[in-house]
Structure 1
């Protein structure tokens, strides 16, 4: 770490300065230890995610811990009838807040907040880089949306991206041959973010609250 290199150049002569330097060296050592543990945990999580046949970490903004959280909380993806149900479950589907002739929607505070946070982090990472998500956000802003509204729309689209990727991975796993080799190649279109207002952008009255701990029938 650069901090360790920097501390070696500091050579105080007074007792107070020497004490401060010693404490700084100890703190740097602790941070390096924590950093090594984080890297080791990420490596283990990446292996677990890969062993599941998931390609979620190929998506921009999804790391090993986020992928593991998505897989653990989502459980059996087929319990969601479509991507709209998935969005309602994770809280990215907007809620209707219209009044009279004024049509408006508001952010849902319900749904799975852990997955909602994963999608929020994914959105922030994409906004910091030249990604399809950045393009989508800028397009929504150019159409007159506020930054908050554009972010809400982006998270909704990223929910579609994640759902499509999980579903494609699941289908590929289901069609794998007994020898472990994939059968018919299923290419996911999850990386595409085409700005539009379609059925997936429509609000849903309430989120799905079923738990992923048990295999559930398809949602209606």
Structure 2
């Protein structure tokens, strides 16, 4: 019989509890969240015989431990915190402690099937980290641009800055020249803000170029989807973290919020709008749908057909988003399958993959 080990992860310690096939606690262990503690975990697991490891889904806390477990050959599944909460409420032992949480993780792994499985990450995690980093820098630059406009108006109302021009180097250089020779704290701060905007813009452009190279190399089928650009494709890849973990296009649509939610009333089944799911992917799919309609791609004809059938424009766009979701899922599976080919792996350029856990 396989022993299930639940792990409750924290910044400084990890607590492990082993349970048998009936959910009865067998042993527990607490170690430091350090490489030395990870060695104790691996030695302890080897003494348990055949084990299945379940980890509370807290990626930043558990990532290093998951990597060591996977490299040691253990199967690792992730348990969402909401599943643990329900298990704790039905447990005989009251309260909340690290052993109680670890035991809840193990019992959820016994009860639930098809839990997310931890894997060593490929380029999808790099894409997510780079895309998120770029997005945060864009938000920071936008805040600086908004504040700079008010400072420029205070310095000299005659200074005119065209809309969306504070990302162009020539405009920023011109503003620095106009501020030269002026005195005052506001002028000094405005000059610092312009310099920071220039630096952020340069870094944002570098990140976008790097994302473009990664997407074109690793996900050419996805980039071929009409209306999907480099940033949208990078966002989808990073948030999806591997299409292989979805058993069908319908499961992927449920994940990204493009699949409606069934609602039963008596013997009649109806559907309502899904406002959940991954809204970041949903936004990328919406932008692809808008681009398809604006540029006259296949999506424009599809929306026209739905409007002719009596659908509203909003309903037609929702249907188009689901259609694009299915195309994206097929493209992701094709790209992942191509990377599994020994020929493609041998000829693929670039550095060796970094062993990290998929986000």
- Aligning the two structures, in what range does the TM-score lie when normalised by the shorter sequence? 0.5 to 0.7
* Match of residue 215 from structure 2: 49
Decide whether aligned partners of structure 1 residues 44 and 33 sit closer, same or farther in structure 2, where only a CA change above 3 A counts.
Answer: same
Tell me how far apart the structure 2 counterparts of residues 101 and 146 of structure 1 sit (CA, whole Å): 27
Tell me how far apart the structure 2 counterparts of residues 30 and 175 of structure 1 sit (CA, whole Å): 45
**Residues 25-81 of structure 1: CA deviation (Å, up to 9, x unaligned):** 987776555443322111011122234344322323323232222222222322211
Tell me how far apart the structure 2 counterparts of residues 134 and 5 of structure 1 sit (CA, whole Å): 41
Normalising by structure 2, we get a TM-score of 0.42
Alignment of 1:37 with 2:199, yes or no, is no
Decide whether aligned partners of structure 1 residues 3 and 53 sit closer, same or farther in structure 2, where only a CA change above 3 A counts.
Answer: closer
1:180 alignment partner, one of 347, 354, 357 = 347
* Match of residue 15 from structure 2: none
| Equivalenced residues, count | 182
Relative contact order, higher structure (CA 8 A, sep 6+): 1
Tell me how far apart the structure 2 counterparts of residues 21 and 144 of structure 1 sit (CA, whole Å): 58
1:128 alignment partner, one of 280, 294, 307 = 294
* Match of residue 86 from structure 1: 252
Cα RMSD of the aligned pairs, angstroms, is 3.6
Tell me how far apart the structure 2 counterparts of residues 55 and 45 of structure 1 sit (CA, whole Å): 15
2:221–2:334 contact (8 Å) kept in structure 1: no
Report which stretch shifted further, 163-172 or 65-74. Answer: 65-74
Normalising by structure 1, we get a TM-score of 0.64
Tell me how far apart the structure 1 counterparts of residues 187 and 241 of structure 2 sit (CA, whole Å): 49
Bigger radius of gyration: 2
* Match of residue 207 from structure 1: none
1:91–1:111 contact (8 Å) kept in structure 2: yes
